[in-house]
């Protein structure tokens, strides 16, 4: 056994018993996230731009992870349902949400997100009426994404290799979601699907591929 889920008081942490990676804790009050929440706008956040709607859109985040993207979207005013396949990551992120709910400054944001332990590629029958889907499959360890390097590496060590994209896009289609936004490393030039994205937004660290479902 390499990883254990530990709790100290109210805080849950995923610990690497090999001591190679820093403990993983979900903290929605961390300063870097607070600054992004405050500045969150179509100009500042590529994901908000890719969703292309004013506050109030309904977003299905099919790969919740540590909930950072969902939190940014909810702080902007969108309503987000997150799905996470790993029970452990689900518990970590839910613990972060529970603690954030006790902070009066964060409580309204927590109220705009929901988290379920669920496979994003299996269409959730209740998940109807979403305006957009967000898919952030696991990146290669050496690439960067929304998470800091340490967090990403730890998550990757724990979860393992990333998932195929097509099942997520198919699930979004089944749910009638018109817009799917896929997060990729900026340098990832591989063709992932035919037809490909209708457009791409490039950020400093990652790229968003936007797929539209016309069916």
Ligand X SMILES: C[S@@+](CC[C@H](N)C(=O)[O-])C[C@H]1O[C@@H](n2cnc3c(N)ncnc32)[C@H](O)[C@@H]1O
What size, in residues, is the chain? 215
Q: How many CB atoms lie within 10 A of CB 61?
A: 30
String of DSSP letters for 143-196: S--SS-HHHHHHHHHHH-SPPPSHHHHHHHHHTT-SEEEEEEETT-----SSS-
Q: Report the residue number, 63 or 95, with the smaller CB distance to ligand X.
A: 63
Which residue's beta carbon is nearest to the bound ligand X?
65
Pair of tokens at residue 48: 């908000």
Contact call for residue 180 and ligand X (CB under 6 A) = no
Contact call for residue 16 and ligand X (CB under 6 A) = no
SS3 120: coil
Going by C-alpha positions, the residue among 102, 11, 96, 112 that lies closest to residue 59 is 112
Q: Report the residue number, 63 or 153, with the smaller CB distance to ligand X.
A: 63
Residues 84-103 as x/- pattern, contact with ligand X by CB under 6 A: xxx--x--------------
Contact call for residue 67 and ligand X (CB under 6 A) = yes
Q: Looking only at residues 149 through 168 of this chain, which bind ligand X when binding is defined by CB under 6 A?
A: 155, 159, 163
Q: How many residues bind ligand X (CB under 6 A)?
A: 24
Going by C-alpha positions, the residue among 36, 38, 34 that lies closest to residue 47 is 36
Shortest CB 178 distance to ligand X, Å: 20
Of positions 46, 60, 66, 74, contacts ligand X by CB under 6 A: 66
Interacting residues toward ligand X by CB under 6 A: 62-63, 65-69, 83-86, 89, 119-121, 136-138, 145-147, 155, 159, 163
């Amino acid at each position: 056994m390499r990883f254990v889920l530990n709790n100290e008081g109210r805080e849950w942490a995923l610990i690497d018993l090999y001591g190679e990676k820093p403990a993983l804790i979900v903290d929605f009050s961390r300063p870097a996230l607070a600054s992004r929440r405050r500045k969150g706008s179509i100009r500042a956040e590529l994901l908000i731009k890719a969703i292309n709607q004013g506050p109030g859109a309904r977003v299905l985040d099919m790969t919740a992870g540590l909930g950072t993207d969902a939190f940014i979207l909810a702080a902007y005013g969108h309503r987000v349902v997150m799905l996470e396949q790993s029970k452990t990551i689900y518990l970590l992120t839910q613990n972060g949400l529970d603690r954030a709910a006790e902070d009066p400054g964060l409580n309204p944001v927590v109220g705009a997100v929901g988290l379920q332990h669920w496979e994003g590629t299996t269409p959730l029958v209740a998940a109807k009426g979403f305006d957009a889907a967000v898919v952030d499959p696991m990146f290669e360890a050496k690439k960067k994404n929304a998470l800091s390097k340490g967090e990403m590496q730890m998550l990757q060590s724990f979860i393992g290799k990333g998932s195929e994209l097509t099942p997520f896009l198919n699930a979004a289609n089944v749910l009638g979601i018109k817009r799917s936004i896929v997060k990729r490393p900026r340098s990832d030039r591989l063709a992932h699907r035919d037809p490909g994205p209708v457009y791409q937004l490039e950020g400093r660290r990652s790229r968003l591929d936007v797929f539209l479902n016309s069916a």
